[in-house]
Structures are given as C-alpha cells and as structure tokens.
Amino acid sequence: MNNIELYSAYDDYNNLMDLTEDLLSKLVLKIKKSYKINLKSNYKDIDFEPPFRVIDIIPFLSDKTNINFNNIYSDEFNSELINYFKINNIK
C-alpha cells in the first residue's frame, strides 16, 4: 500500500482541494503518461484530468442511494444503511 500525506498551514478547504487536484492529476500523468487509469475489473476508466468535478457529498450520496442523510446519528439511519449494504453486497 502507498500513501500520500499532505499538510498545509493557513489554507482553507478550497486551497486544499486545488492542491490535491494538482497533485493527483500530475502524479497520474507522470506515472501513466495519461490522465486515465483503466480498472480492468469493471472496465471503467478513472479520469484524473483537471478540473475535477466538485460535489456536495450529502446530496450526492442521497441521490445515489435513496437514503435520507438528514439524521445520520439515528438508529433508523444506521439500520437503513446496513440494509443498503446487505442488499448491494457491500462489505
């Protein structure tokens, strides 16, 4: 396993997103000679060409899973999430 760790004083999340985008896109381009990485297991490409799409994670997850993320600390939410994992064979 490989890791990249990044620390930056006095930056906000926008600066860190820009820095991460720049780092990942240049790293993939340098190693693969392309911005795209092919995952042979599911025949999909991951495209690291900037700019990356920026999403608001809670609405995105709600849209993809049809799970209400308004009260993530409730027992109801936990049950719904566990059920979603079981139905979709996510371990």
Cβ 46 vs Cβ 32: under 8 Å: no
**pLDDT classification of 28: cutoffs 50, 70, 90:** very high
Distance of CA 12 to CAs 16, 21, 42, 50, Å?
Answer: 6, 14, 35, 20
**What's the pLDDT tens digit per position in 16-25?**
999 999 999 9
**pLDDT classification of 27: cutoffs 50, 70, 90:** very high
Q: What is the CA radius of gyration of the chain?
A: 17
